[in-house]
Structures are given as C-alpha cells and as structure tokens.
Amino acid sequence: MDYKIFRRINQLAGRYSVLDMLMILISKKVRYVFIFVLIFMWFRNYSQRKVTLYTVISAAFTLFIHTWMKCFYFKPRPFMKHRVGILIPSKMDSSFLSKHTLLAFAVSTSIFLHERILGSVMWGLSLLTGFSRIWVGHHYPSDIIRSAFIGSLTSIIVEKVFGSLKIMNRKSKKYYAQMRK
C-alpha cells in the first residue's frame, strides 16, 4: 500500500516541468522560509522570543530523535528498492525518518501553539515539504506521516514541559517571596 501511494505520486515527477521545479524548490529551499520566520519572530517582541526559543528546542530534540533513529533502524529509500524517478540527488541513508519533514512540523507546530494564523500557514508549508519529498523520490508516504507526527508531538511535549517548568518557577518565586516576609 505504501509503495502504491508513493508510486502514484512519484510517477507524476518528470511529466510537468513547472511542478517539478516547484517541488524541488520546496524540498530544497523552504527551510529558509522557516529560518526567516524564526528570525523575524525573535526580533518582533519579547513574547515572540519565547516561541522562537521553544521552537529551536523542539527542532533540536527532533534532530536528536532523527540521529538516534538512524543509528538503530534502517529502511531503504524508494529508489534503493525500486525504479523510481529521482529529481534531486539523495544520500543513501534510511528513508525513515524524513529530516526535512520532522523539522518542518516541529517548527510549524511550535509556532501554531502560540500563533494560530502564522502556524497554519507554516503547517501548510510543512505539508508541502512532506509531499515534495515523496514527489522527488526520496521518501515513502508512511515516512512522511510518521515524521510529521513525531515532529509535531515533540513540539507539544516541549511546550508542556517548559510550560510546567514556568509554572513551577513562578510558584517557587512566590513561595520564596512569602518566606522572606
């Protein structure tokens, strides 16, 4: 089933040059949009800095998860097992997890938890990133879906953990101030 869906999407590669160029652009360059948004948010105001910090922490954790998974699990990329259209060169490493998709969803989910409109736009870019990774022949749909889930889940966990730490910090400061009286 996974290969059949992959094949349906990937067989379109090479037929429509404009779409091919768009998918290559998204696959290779959309990360710069994410970086630009984070830089903009950092300099916008203080509350946006917190969002940016959580986002960077989420991205770092997803990179750690990606590296860890690559050490213990190997799934051949589609072009390693089948004759498929490849639009851009790829490493010969594991197809699972998709680092592009992991990071895109980690960043967009972190932003979405604080800024719904911007986060929704970023989520749309994340979906396009995942789709483009299938289009260019690098990942199976299941790799993209799992990567999106793990990237989003990582951001939610980071948000909950740091939100809990913030509450505990506030309570401890309040308690300490009462003790000094």
Alpha-carbon distance of 95 to 84, in angstroms, equals 14
- Is residue 167 one of the residues assigned to a domain? no
Place of tokens 């308690």: 175
* Residue 119: per-residue pLDDT: 94
- Is residue 8 one of the residues assigned to a domain? yes
* Residue 50: per-residue pLDDT: 85
- Is residue 177 one of the residues assigned to a domain? no
* Residue 45: per-residue pLDDT: 81
- Is residue 174 one of the residues assigned to a domain? no
- Is residue 173 one of the residues assigned to a domain? no
Q: Tell me which residue range forms the domain holding 14.
A: 2-155
- Is residue 180 one of the residues assigned to a domain? no
Q: Give the count of domains, the chain.
A: 1
Could you report the average pLDDT of every consecutive run of 10 residues in the chain (181 residues)?
A: 85 86 92 94 86 92 93 84 74 84 96 93 96 91 95 94 67 59 61
CA atoms within 13 A on the CB side of 90: 25
* Residue 170: per-residue pLDDT: 60
- Is residue 85 one of the residues assigned to a domain? yes
Sort 3 into a burial class: Cβ within 10 Å, 0-12 / 13-18 / 19+.
middle
- Is residue 179 one of the residues assigned to a domain? no
Q: Taking a C-beta distance cutoff of 8 angstroms, is the pair 52, 41 a contact?
A: yes
Alpha-carbon distance of 3 to 174, in angstroms, equals 57
Prediction pTM value: 0.85
Q: Report pLDDT digits (tens) over 55-64.
A: 999 999 999 9
